[in-house]
Amino acid sequence: MPNEKNCILYTSQSIFNMKFNKGKLLVITTKKLLEINNIHKRILFYLGLLVAFILLTSMLLSSILVHYRKKKIENEISALKRQKEIIYLQYNNLKEEVSNIIIEKKEKNNLRNIVKKLNPNIDQEFLNLWLETIYENQNSIEESLNIWSKIKLSKTESSFSLKSGSAIALAVTAIESNFHPGAKSKKGAIGAFQIINNTAYELGLKDPSNPVENTLGGIKYLTYLFKTFKDYKDQIHLALAAYNAGPSRVINEWMPTWGDSWSSIYEGLSLSEKSYRETREYSVLTYHLIKLFSSGNWVNKNDHFWINYRNEILAKCGENSSLLFSELTFFKKSKFRKGNKSKLYTV
């Protein structure tokens, strides 16, 4: 009997142990499963974080790449714009250069044609030297003109018009020597611009008989005279009178006596003992030549018109200076009236 009880107890205990072990195993298995589940969740969580990180990184890299490409495109556009500006600037410079070449060629041709009209027998070598020197340096005269002079010499656009500086230098050379480089006066003035030794020394000329140096000296002296009278309304007439009679005589003698108006000075000179007829005629004649050349109306004149004009001056003037330039056919549209001297200088 005891053995049966023991067997039953053993069997019961074994069954209990077996169930307990199964329950324990179940608990352990459940724990393991929970742990595995937690691990899976963590893995999935970290995988999610990784995917989110990758997506964010990708978006950030894409944004950086887009920004870089945009910046690169903007830089390329800026470079193209700069290149366009440079090309446009080069185009404008080239256009201006071509325009200046055309203007220079036209100006030189006009100067050459006028000089040949004035002196058909001019020495060609001297003409070429004179043209180059005048054209390269005429701006100094033009820049010294005041507002009144610019208004007086203002002109309508014409393909035959000369710049004011060129017109002034041309007119002075025509009156002084008619483009004879070897011209020499009784007073010792030499060259195309008829420069005397004292003036040549003051201008720093080493050889005033040299055509180029003489022309440069003439331009330099004209520039000085125009700057000297820059504050006066009759700047052109005063400067031209000073070129003929000397600036000291105009400033220290005539202006204190008759004032700074050229018409008053002209009137005073005509009534004075010496009369200074040469200076009076010189200033008015040169002024009208300047107007003629700057306006382009010289093109309407015949070849050799200078000779006819000189002869007409001698025939009409005589001793009556009031007739000077009053009825000369040389000027196409004269504003002067016969015998009215007050109208002679107000242009």
Question: What whole-number distance in Å separates Cα of residue 182 and Cα of residue 190?
Answer: 7
Note the pLDDT tens digit of each residue in 240-288: 999 999 999 999 999 999 999 988 998 888 887 677 888 888 887 888 8
* Most confident segment among 5-14, 86-95, 213-222: 213-222
The mean per-residue pLDDT over the stretch 111-135 comes to 87
The whole-number pLDDT of residue 320 equals 38
In the predicted structure, residue 289 carries a pLDDT above the cut 90: no
Position 268, amino acid = G
pLDDT score, position 272:
78
Ranking 13-17, 192-196, 316-320 by mean pLDDT, the lowest is 316-320
Is 70 exceeded by the pLDDT of residue 161? yes
pLDDT by residue (tens digit) across 27-58?
A: 677 777 777 778 878 888 888 888 888 888 88
What integer is the mean pLDDT of 112-137? Answer: 87
**1.10.357.10, 3.90.1150.10, 1.10.530.10, 1.10.3470.10: which CATH number matches 119-343?**
1.10.530.10
Most confident segment among 112-116, 246-250, 296-300? 246-250
Q: What is the pLDDT of residue 155?
A: 64
Q: Identify the pLDDT of residue 215.
A: 94
Question: What is the average pLDDT value for the chain, to the nearest integer?
Answer: 79
Q: Is the pLDDT of residue 134 over 80?
A: yes
Residue 342, pLDDT > 70, answer: no
Segment 224-231 mean pLDDT: 95
pLDDT value at position 24? 66
Query: What's the pLDDT score for residue 156?
Result: 62
Contacts of 344 (CB under 8 A, 6+ apart): 263, 266, 284, 322, 324, 325, 326, 336
